[in-house]
Structure formats: C-alpha cells, structure tokens
C-alpha cells in the first residue's frame, strides 16, 4: 500500500506537562495543599478540596503516580485506548501497533471504553497518571474532561481511525464520510434504489454515524432517501445481524438493498437471506464495512470496504516512536484511502 504524504497538522503552542504549580496558581492555594488534596491525605476543608479538584479538572491536570521514581518522569509504556475488543477490527489495529513498537523499547498497554465517553475519560485518567511515553486513542470525539487531559498530556497523542475533524495532535485514519459516499455510489451504479440502513452503537459510534451521514448525502444528491433504518445498542454479532435483517425486511419487504454499519451484522444478514431463499444480489443487495478477513469463508463474499486497520496501527506507532520521515514526533494528519470490495452481494 502506498503511504499518503503527511499533511501538516494544526499549529499549536509547544506542549508541556502540567505541574502542581499550575493547579496551585489557578486554585489560589499552596502547592503543598494541592498535593494533599490530590493524594487524598491531610486535613483539608471541603471548600478547599473542591476548589483544587475543580482547577485540576478544568486544565486537565492528572497526578503523577511515578513522580520522583524516574529522572525522565516517563515510563516506556504507550497507552492505547479503544472502544472494543469484541470484534475483529481493533485487534488488527493492535497488531499493527505491536509490530512497530517491538524493537523500540516501548510497550503498548490497552484500555477499553465500550463506546462510553465517561469510561474513556476514566481510562485516560489512569493511563496518564503513569506518565506514558505516548497515547493512541480511537476517534476524534471526546468529553470535555478527556479533551483537556489530551491537550495537557505533554506527550505525543495520536487519534486513530478517523480524519473527519481536527485532531488534538496527530491523526491517522480514513474519512468515514467519504467511505459512506463511496459505498452509496457503488450501490446506485448497480441500480438499487430502495435502500435500508442497519447500524450498531448509534449515536455513540461516531465513525458509523459519519458513514451514514456520507451515505445519506450521496443518496440525497441522487434524489433518494433511506427508506428504513434498524438500530440497536449491543455489540457487533452475527445473531444480531440475523435478527435485525429479519425485522427490517418484515417491516419493509420492498427494500432492494441493505447497508450495514459493519461486516459482522452484515454477515448475519447474508446468512438469514440465504436460509430464507432470498435472491442475493438479484432481488436484494447487501454491503458491510471493515473488510474482516474472518468472513471470507461465507457462502458468498459480502461486499465491504477495507478500512486499513493494520496500517493505521502501524502509522500511529511510527508517530509515537519517532519513526516517521525526519524523525518528527507529532503534528501529522495521515488520511488513508479505503478500498471497496463488491464481493458477491452487489449486482455487476
């Protein structure tokens, strides 16, 4: 795969790690008192404690659990924060990260958020408290508290999987809006017109939401709209794909195409259609997203888009480890180009 040229990231003032003094100056109390509050030690009034905690939260300060232990104040860990390990998407990203970091002395440590902004903030807080050498985190959307911590981390931060928005520092991924448009163009070119969408983790999965937005925008330009939708909040699973497909087709039997937010529910839908004698792709076309290799053993190849997962992991690790051209660490936006594979579920 040809790697994309680096685009300059947003210019920002030099980044530095925050200290007790920053919290002290903002809260108006001594550094010793700040230390007592953050270590939960000593007799401190509730009003003072709240003042210190509010100041620390506002500027994104995270206590240093290894202060004084190392002269560098950093450990050779790279925090990797992802939403899920229950499907095949993020393990491939982790494999790419591990390949690059193997000979660098850096070790990835993984935290899982389950698509919860509150959980992401908590995991990020714990990661940063150990003063890692870098952070790799999925997505560009974060809570205010998480964003403040990332801004103040003082280490390279790489947001992965998505380039549809401004990053904190560096970003590596694809444009999901473009991916949605790409799939819509292939569907329309094949002559499908009555289209339904089946998605998971809406609206917490921002990347799936952006694909749907791009998909709908392309349909609108052709004078069409999504005629039905089926959502659920569980993980990506074959069984759920079967159930969702049955539900949407019983409700809207006139549909001639189903666009799934990921391959796992798409594969479940394909199996349900074949078991029920539905002509795929003649009467009904199907497409998923992610290009999961595990599904190559299906009776028919599901149309999908390769989201470049392993390469995203590799490039993110290269940024953290200073292996990019010129040895510059941070400030890069690398957008990869997803590839549509029509498989056997879109008419030719």
Domain span at 180? 176-307
**Residue 309: which of 174, 171, 181 has the closest Cα?**
174
The answer to whether residues 63 and 144 belong to one domain is yes
Report the chain's mean pLDDT, rounded to a whole number.
89
- Are 154 and 129 in contact by the 8 Å Cβ rule? The answer is no
The answer to whether residues 186 and 148 belong to one domain is no
Does position 267 have pLDDT exceeding 50, yes or no?
A: yes
Is the pLDDT higher at 42 or at 301?
A: 301
Does position 13 have pLDDT exceeding 60, yes or no?
A: no
Instruction: Kindly state whether residue 296 falls inside one of the protein's structural domains.
Output: yes
What is the arithmetic mean of pLDDT over 86-100? 90
Local structure of residue 122 (DSSP, 8 states):
H
* Beta carbons within 10 angstroms of residue 85's beta carbon: 14
- The pLDDT assigned to 282 comes to 96
Burial category of 119 from C-beta neighbours within 10 Å (exposed 0-12, middle 13-18, buried 19 and up): middle
Does position 144 have pLDDT exceeding 50, yes or no?
A: yes
The answer to whether residues 119 and 199 belong to one domain is no
In the structure, what pLDDT confidence band is assigned to residue 273 with cuts at 50, 70 and 90? very high
The answer to whether residues 167 and 241 belong to one domain is no
Is the pLDDT higher at 3 or at 115?
A: 115
- Are 194 and 341 in contact by the 8 Å Cβ rule? The answer is no
The answer to whether residues 238 and 120 belong to one domain is no
- The pLDDT assigned to 40 comes to 75
Segment 157-169, tens digit of pLDDT: 999 999 999 999 9
Instruction: Kindly state whether residue 58 falls inside one of the protein's structural domains.
Output: yes
The answer to whether residues 162 and 146 belong to one domain is yes
Does position 69 have pLDDT exceeding 90, yes or no?
A: no
- The pLDDT assigned to 189 comes to 97
Instruction: Kindly state whether residue 195 falls inside one of the protein's structural domains.
Output: yes
In the structure, what pLDDT confidence band is assigned to residue 67 with cuts at 50, 70 and 90? low
The answer to whether residues 71 and 160 belong to one domain is yes
- The pLDDT assigned to 63 comes to 81
Local structure of residue 53 (DSSP, 8 states):
H
From 58-62, 79-83, 118-122, 254-258, the region with the lowest mean pLDDT = 58-62
The answer to whether residues 291 and 318 belong to one domain is no
Number of domains in the chain: 2
What is the arithmetic mean of pLDDT over 73-87? 86
Q: b/e map of 265-282 (b: 16 or more CB within 10 Å)?
A: bbbbbbbbbeeeebebbe
Instruction: Kindly state whether residue 25 falls inside one of the protein's structural domains.
Output: yes
- What sections of 190-332 are H helices per DSSP? 206-221, 238-251, 263-275, 309-321
In the structure, what pLDDT confidence band is assigned to residue 73 with cuts at 50, 70 and 90? low
The answer to whether residues 30 and 141 belong to one domain is yes
The answer to whether residues 18 and 158 belong to one domain is yes
The H helix count followed by the E strand count for the chain is 11, 13
Segment 185-243, tens digit of pLDDT: 999 999 999 999 999 766 778 999 999 999 999 999 999 999 999 998 776 688 999 99
- The pLDDT assigned to 306 comes to 92
The answer to whether residues 113 and 193 belong to one domain is no
Instruction: Kindly state whether residue 343 falls inside one of the protein's structural domains.
Output: no
Q: Which two tokens stand for residue 334?
A: 């690398």
Instruction: Kindly state whether residue 348 falls inside one of the protein's structural domains.
Output: no
Burial category of 40 from C-beta neighbours within 10 Å (exposed 0-12, middle 13-18, buried 19 and up): exposed
Sequence-separated (6 or more) residues with CB below 8 Å from residue 283: 256
Secondary structure E strands in 88-149:
107-112, 134-138
Percentage of the residues of the chain whose pLDDT score is greater than 70: 90
From 178-187, 233-242, 244-253, the region with the lowest mean pLDDT = 233-242
The answer to whether residues 20 and 127 belong to one domain is yes
Does position 12 have pLDDT exceeding 80, yes or no?
A: no
Instruction: Kindly state whether residue 1 falls inside one of the protein's structural domains.
Output: no
Local structure of residue 170 (DSSP, 8 states):
E
Q: Which whole-number Å values give the CA distances from 245 to 1, 42, 229, 273, 284, in the listed order?
A: 35, 59, 10, 8, 12
CATH of the domain at 62: 3.40.50.2300
Most confident of 32-36, 151-155, 171-175: 171-175
- The pLDDT assigned to 4 comes to 61
Instruction: Kindly state whether residue 344 falls inside one of the protein's structural domains.
Output: no
Q: Which whole-number Å values give the CA distances from 206 to 16, 22, 165, 209, 277, in the listed order?
A: 29, 33, 11, 5, 35
């Amino acid at each position: 795969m040809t790697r994309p040229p680096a685009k300059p990231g947003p210019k920002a003032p030099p980044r530095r790690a925050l200290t007790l003094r920053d919290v002290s100056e903002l809260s108006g109390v001594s550094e010793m008192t700040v230390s007592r509050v953050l270590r939960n030690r000593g007799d401190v009034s509730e009003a003072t404690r709240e003042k210190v905690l509010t100041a620390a939260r506002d500027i994104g300060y995270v206590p240093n659990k290894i202060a004084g232990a190392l002269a560098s104040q950093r450990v050779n860990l790279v925090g990797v924060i992802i939403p899920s390990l229950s499907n095949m998407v993020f393990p491939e990203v982790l494999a790419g990260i591990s390949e690059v970091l193997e000979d660098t002395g850096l070790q990835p440590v993984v935290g899982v958020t389950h698509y919860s902004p509150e959980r992401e903030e908590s995991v990020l807080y714990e990661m940063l408290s150990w003063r890692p050498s870098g952070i790799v985190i999925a997505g560009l959307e974060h809570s205010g508290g998480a964003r403040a911590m990332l801004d103040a981390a003082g280490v390279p931060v790489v947001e992965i999987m998505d380039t549809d928005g401004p990053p904190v520092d560096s970003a590596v991924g694809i444009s999901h809006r473009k991916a949605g448009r790409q799939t819509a163009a292939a569907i329309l070119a094949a002559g499908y017109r009555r289209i339904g969408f089946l998605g998971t983790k809406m609206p917490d999965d921002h990347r799936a939401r952006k694909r749907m937005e791009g998909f709908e925008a392309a349909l609108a330009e052709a004078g069409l709209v999504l005629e039905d939708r089926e959502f659920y909040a569980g993980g990506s699973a074959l069984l759920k794909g079967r159930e969702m497909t049955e539900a949407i087709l019983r409700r809207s039997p006139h549909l001639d195409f189903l666009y799934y937010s990921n391959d796992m529910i798409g594969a479940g839908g394909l199996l349900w259609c074949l078991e029920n004698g539905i002509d795929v792709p003649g009467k009904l076309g199907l497409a998923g997203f992610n290009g999961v290799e595990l599904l190559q053993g299906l009776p028919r190849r599901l149309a999908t888009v390769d989201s470049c997962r392993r390469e995203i992991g590799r490039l993110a690790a290269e940024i953290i480890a200073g292996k990019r051209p010129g040895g510059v660490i941070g400030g890069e936006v690398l957008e990869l180009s997803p590839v549509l594979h029509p498989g056997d579920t879109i008419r030719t």
